[in-house]
Amino acid sequence: MSNLEAYRARAAAWLESMVPAFGKAARKGLSEADDLALARRYQAAKFESGYAGINWPVEYGGQGLGHLEKVTFDSEEMKHGFPNAYFGISLGMPVPILMQFGEDKAFVKERVLKALRGEEIWCQLFSEPAGGSDLAGLRTKAEPDGNGWKINGQKVWTSWAQYSDYGVIVVRTDPNVPKHKGLTYFWVDMKAPGVTVRPIRLAGGDSHVNEVFFDDVKVDDDQRMSPVGGGFAVAMATLMIERYVATDSGGFGPHLDLFVELAKAILVNGKPAIADGRIRQQIARNYAMRNGLNSITARAMAMMQAGMVPGPEGSLNKLVSVRSRQKLSELAIDLRGSDGFAFDDHASQKEDWTSSWINAPTGRIAGGADEMLLNTIAEKILGLPQDHRPDKGVPFNQIPA
């Protein structure tokens, strides 16, 4: 058995032991406040057992292991429905960036340890109403104010901001230069005067995303994590840092076996739906597609094991898996007829076809919308030329709003 497989076996056994206290069944019927409290206890247990910060430096409370161990653990963890979503963004991007770019080492170490134990949560304040996928098009501004800065503007689509203690933010500090050049990166205290968080209720019923308003919010200059005007580079580092994440070829929706079971149980024209050639074709297409995506993931893992950096082909996984999940979920609803309309907003997206379908569009926007992924595939994989960009090199304040 390889070292990695031995690590997988140990992690799987530990995770199995956590299921009675923290798994899907233990969470059933909990309010969000109680679920968050359970999540904090689970995160603390992970920290104590050496499964938090797996690929982080030991000096910051991490385990000092590689990306492969992290992805291996995450792949096993996602099988059990543990309450880890609250910390996904926090530990995925803002806190690693704080370790990389934070100036005050004592402050950074304290924040990192508290985040690893689940005591503090960080959010990422990037998208805005007028600039979702175009990060460089943001309009929230920071102006010099005494020894620091004053932030005014609005962010949107900010996951778990309502529970966050801190956040990382990109703001415009110079509107007189081209859009990528006038940005600066800070960390902010989410409890500071002038910060207002309003949860957004999504179609699926939950409210994990928010709009966040900044009204004369003061930040010290030592909260700045980039050179003035050099924020875009740190923003890109933030988006690249968790490139190697555990992926799911089913788009984080129900397993294909569940569709096969449904097709056996539902009658079409007096026969099980599984006997219909059109249904069998859809099962075959999904099976082939999911195996193709698993092969891309396996290739990326092999490259990492060999010390290489996987390429942009990971974009294919998110684009294809969530789209196909949406289509398969729609077919499952159609097969159930009027029964397919029954909706339980507490049902799991990995087990319930209606919940999977109504929440799939969120997955197609979060972490890069379809159009952005198509651009990445076109330019980085197929080598096609970039689209014409009329705002290239134009000062931001001269771009029509």
Q: Which of 339, 335, 333 is nearest to 360 (CA)?
A: 333
pLDDT tens digits, residue range 22-74? 999 999 999 999 999 999 999 999 999 999 999 999 999 999 998 889 989 99
Q: How many domains in the chain? A: 3
pLDDT tens digits, residue range 203-222? 888 899 999 999 999 999 99
Q: Is residue 396 part of a domain?
A: no
Tell me if the pTM is above 0.85.
yes
Q: Is residue 397 part of a domain?
A: no
Q: Is residue 73 part of a domain?
A: yes
pLDDT tens digits, residue range 246-291? 678 888 899 999 999 999 999 998 999 999 999 999 999 999 999 9
Q: Which of 68, 34, 40, 75 is nearest to 54 (CA)?
A: 68
- Report in angstroms the alpha-carbon separations of 231 from 179, 184, 289, 299: 11, 4, 38, 33
- Domain closes at, from 241, 271, 291: 241
CATH number at residue 87: 1.10.540.10
Q: Which of 313, 297, 305, 312 is nearest to 248 (CA)?
A: 297
CB 167 within 8 A of CB 125: yes
- Report in angstroms the alpha-carbon separations of 345 from 81, 89, 195, 278, 355: 16, 23, 30, 30, 7
| pLDDT of 309 strictly over 80 | no
**What is the extent of the structural domain holding 372?**
256-381
**What are the tokens at 283?**
């099962």
| 135 and 107 belong to one structural domain | no
- Domain closes at, from 85, 116, 147: 116
| 153 and 107 belong to one structural domain | no
- Helix (H) / strand (E) containing 13: helix 3-22
> What is the residue-averaged pLDDT of the chain?
92
CATH number at residue 128: 2.40.110.10
| 368 and 261 belong to one structural domain | yes
b/e code 331-370 from CB counts within 10 Å (16+ = b): bbbebbeeebeeeeeebebbebbbbbbbbbebbbbeebee
Q: Is residue 30 part of a domain?
A: yes
Report how far Cα 244 is from the mean position of its chain's Cα atoms: 12
pLDDT of res. 241: 67
Q: Is residue 40 part of a domain?
A: yes
- Domain closes at, from 200, 218, 241: 241
| 230 and 285 belong to one structural domain | no
Q: Count of alpha carbons within 13 Å of 269, Cβ hemisphere only?
A: 4
Tell me the Cα Rg of the chain: 22
- Go through the chain and tell me how many residues it has: 401
pLDDT tens digits, residue range 120-131? 999 999 999 987
**What are the tokens at 184?**
């600066």
Q: Is residue 248 part of a domain?
A: no
Q: Is residue 225 part of a domain?
A: yes
| 268 and 287 belong to one structural domain | yes
